[in-house]
Amino acid sequence: MTRDTICDVPGLSVGQADDQHIATGVTAILFETPCVASISVGGGAPGLRDTALLQPGMTVERIDAVVLSGGSAFGLDSMGGVQAFLRERGRGFRIGEAVIPIVPGAILFDLLNGGDKDWGPEPVYWRLGYQAAAKAGLDFELGTAGAGYGATTATYKGGLGSASAVTPSGFTVGAIVAVNALGSATIGDGPHFWAAPYERASEFGGLGWPAPFPADALDLRVKGARPENTTIALVATDAALTKAEAKRIAVMAQDGLARALRPAHAAFDGDTVFVASTARASQPPSAVGLLEIGALAADCLSRAVARAIFEAKALPFPGAAPDWRSRFA
C-alpha cells in the first residue's frame, strides 16, 4: 500500500502538533537511524537552525530529524523540543559521554493570520516541537495541520502537503512541504493549479490546465513586499547519498517550487528545501539513478504544494484567507 506521502520512503515517520488558539503548528520528521542530509536555500528571507552543518565538508555527517515550523523566529524553539524528545531516547551524535541529537529545521512566518500571538513567556514552540515528535507515525494530516496550520498564500489558505513516487531505477522519493508563499499556486482567478502537469490520480482535483488559458493567467498575485512568507520542505529518498549528492538533489528539487508557485524564490520568501537519505535501498544509485531522483524530487514537491492548497481549510478568524475548496469544490 502506498500513502502518496513522504512516509512511503522507508526509515522515517512524521508527527505534527497544532495550537488552534495561536493558529500555528509544527511538523517533525524523525529518522529511524541517522541520515545523510543537505539543504538548498532559494529565497532571500530564510529562518534556519543548525543548517550550516548540512553543507558538504562539514564535520557532522548525519542528522536525526528535520523540523518545519510556523512562528517565524519564535518557531526556532521547536527544534529544541524535538531535540529533547530524541535525547530522552538516547538518540544523537556522541562525543564522549554526551549525546546530542542533530535536529536542523526551518520556519515560516504566520504571525499575522488572526490567531492570538500573545502567548506570554512560555516557549510555546518548544512544547509544540516536543508534542509533534511524540506523535510521529506513518499517517498524518494534510492541509491545515502542523507547520502549515497558519500558512497562507497570495490567493488562498496555505497548508501542509506531501507526495511520493518511485523512480525508473526503483528508488522511492517523497516530499513534505509547508506552503506559506508570497505568490499563488493557482492560475488566474480559476481553480487550476500551476502543478497540473505533474498530478497523479487526481490528488488535487484532476482539473488539468485551463483551456484556454485565462487572459490574466500571468498577472502577478502577491501578498505584499514584506518578509512574511516562506515555503519550507523536505525531500527524502531511500537511495544512499553522499552529502554532496544530497546537496545537488536539493538544488534540483527547488525547481518544484518554481513550477508550482508564481513567483517563487523572491527576496521576501525564505524558500528552503532539505534532502535526506534513509539509505534503505539495496543498491546505491548510478549517475542516471541520481538524475532520476532529482527530477522526481522536483515533481513530488510540485505535487505536494498543490495538495497543501487543495486540502487546506480556512482559519475561523475575521478576514482569514479563504480555502480553495470553499470556492471551487
Count of domains observed in the chain: 1
What are the angstrom distances between the C-alpha of 169 and each of 116, 200, 246, 286? 49, 19, 17, 9
> What domain range is 19 assigned to?
6-319
Does 1 map to a domain?
no
What are the angstrom distances between the C-alpha of 71 and each of 39, 67, 116? 21, 12, 12
- Please report which helix (H) or strand (E) contains residue 306, including its range: helix 287-311
Query: For every one of its 329 residues, what pLDDT tens digit does the chain have, with 9 covering 90 and above?
Result: 689 999 999 999 999 999 999 999 999 999 999 999 999 999 999 999 999 999 999 999 999 999 999 999 999 999 999 999 999 999 999 999 999 999 999 999 999 999 999 999 989 999 999 999 999 999 999 999 999 999 999 999 999 999 999 999 999 999 999 999 999 999 999 999 999 999 999 999 999 999 999 999 999 999 876 768 899 999 999 999 999 999 999 999 999 999 999 999 999 899 999 999 999 999 999 999 999 999 999 999 999 999 999 999 999 999 999 999 999 97
- Please report which helix (H) or strand (E) contains residue 173, including its range: strand 172-180
How far apart, in whole angstroms, are the C-alpha atoms of residue 319 and residue 266?
25
Does 253 map to a domain?
yes
Query: What is the reported pTM?
Result: 0.97
Does 279 map to a domain?
yes
Residue 186: which CATH number?
Answer: 3.60.70.12
Does 202 map to a domain?
yes
How far apart, in whole angstroms, are the C-alpha atoms of residue 261 and residue 258?
6
Does 287 map to a domain?
yes
